[in-house]
Structure 1
Amino acid sequence: MRLSPVVLALGLAASSFAVPVIGQKPDNQIAPKSIEFQQKGEAAFAAGKLMEADDALETALAVDPRNRGAFVTMARVAMKQKLFGQAIRLTNKALQLEPTDRDALSVQGTAMVELGADARAKEVLAKLQKVCASGCPQLAELNAAITRGPTLAQAKPPAGTPKKN
């Protein structure tokens, strides 16, 4: 009876130590099947087949949810569909995996410009400038998007049209 608390304490201490998981992959190894679906999605996106691209990229993420490239390409598909909020959410997921992903930062900043969030886009530009100290194409792309401004026509009602409340 006197040993029970000691044995219980030792058992609790032993169970709290981290146990390595056998067969766990490092974070930088993406499943080959996921890469294959990502490439199919990128090819469909390049061909303008947005639904096929989206399906293939979702499958790539179902196979391996650590595939940053699939998140970024899905964000580009969302941008083509003018779903800028979704593009920002997808790039956030990519940036959770790798906060310095240049492509994700560029797409996210461009989506923010399209939504009219210029101040936030400039914050993303500052992050990208730190990542690309010597310059990179993504930096130039985001800088051009900020300079250009939103491409969506700011739809103003014709003169004399009553405003909706």
Structure 2
Amino acid sequence: MRLLPIGLVAGVGAALIASSGASQAPDNQLNPQSVTLLRKGEAALAAGQFQAADDALETALVVDPRNRAAFNALAKVAQRQKLYGQAIRYTNKALALEPNDVNALSIQGEAMVEMGAVARAQRNLAKVRQLCGSGACPQGTSLAAAIARGPAVAQKVTTPAPKQN
């Protein structure tokens, strides 16, 4: 008689725990609406419509916050707008979902180069090359080219101001 309330509470608790995971989608399946919005955002980015791309991609993340490709696409939008710190933040979110995301590592490395953090970009390149294995992958090639090119700020030639007499 004394164990009946304890048993009842334990049974209800077990039923609630078992039912909470039944309605969740597996991590490898994204919401189809999020994928559609991702494609719309990528098309807007390709057309140079940064605001439309940003809107579609952020909506894709609201629909499904596990959409790593949307974080990577937002990072590309930020890079095109020369917002390198923001690009790094977006790739950090993608890497939090999947630490071995080669696309995110490459995009992040390119943004780091533009900010002057070449040593950190080289660490990203080493990880990309490790993940790609023996074959060269386009992400590694792109990041290696960005490192070799160096930051865009350093490439600007500044001419000295004329002396005033």
TM tier relative to shorter chain? 0.7 to 0.9
1:152 matched to 2:153? The reply is: yes
Q: Which residue of 2 aligns with 1:3?
A: 2
Find the aligned partners of 2:123 and 2:12 in 1 and give their Cα distance: 46
What is the identity, as a one-letter code, of the residue corresponding to 2:87? A
Please report the TM-score for the alignment, with normalisation by the length of structure 1.
0.84
Find the aligned partners of 1:148 and 1:68 in 2 and give their Cα distance: 28
1:140 matched to 2:105? The reply is: no
What is the identity, as a one-letter code, of the residue corresponding to 1:137? P
Q: Quickly say closer, same or farther: Cα 1:10–1:23, change in 2 above 3 A.
A: closer
Query: Mean alpha-carbon deviation: is it higher for 144-153 or for 115-124?
Result: 144-153
Please report the TM-score for the alignment, with normalisation by the length of structure 2.
0.84
Q: Aligned to 1:89, what secondary structure does the other structure show? A: helix
Find the aligned partners of 2:34 and 2:43 in 1 and give their Cα distance: 14
The answer for unaligned runs of 5 or more in structure 2 is none
Per residue, is there more helix in 1 or in 2? 2
Deviations 1:69-99 (A, max 9, x none): 1100100000011110100010011111111
Pairwise mapping of residues 2-81 of structure 1 onto structure 2 (< 5 A)?
A: 3=2, 8=6, 11=9, 15=13, 18-19=17-18, 21-81=21-81
Pairwise mapping of residues 60-139 of structure 1 onto structure 2 (< 5 A)?
A: 60-133=60-133, 134-139=135-140
Find the aligned partners of 1:27 and 1:141 in 2 and give their Cα distance: 29
Find the aligned partners of 1:29 and 1:92 in 2 and give their Cα distance: 21
What is the identity, as a one-letter code, of the residue corresponding to 2:148? T
The answer for unaligned runs of 5 or more in structure 1 is none
Q: Percent identity?
A: 53
Q: Aligned to 1:24, what secondary structure does the other structure show? A: coil
Q: Aligned to 1:65, what secondary structure does the other structure show? A: coil
Alpha carbon RMSD of aligned pairs, Å?
A: 2.7
Q: Quickly say closer, same or farther: Cα 1:160–1:38, change in 2 above 3 A.
A: same
Find the aligned partners of 1:132 and 1:111 in 2 and give their Cα distance: 20
Q: How far apart are 1:154 and its partner, in Å?
A: 6.6
Q: How far apart are 1:23 and its partner, in Å?
A: 1.9
Q: How far apart are 1:135 and its partner, in Å?
A: 1.7
Q: Aligned to 2:153, what secondary structure does the other structure show? A: coil
Runs of 4+ in structure 1 deviating by more than 3 angstroms, as ranges, are: 6-18, 153-161
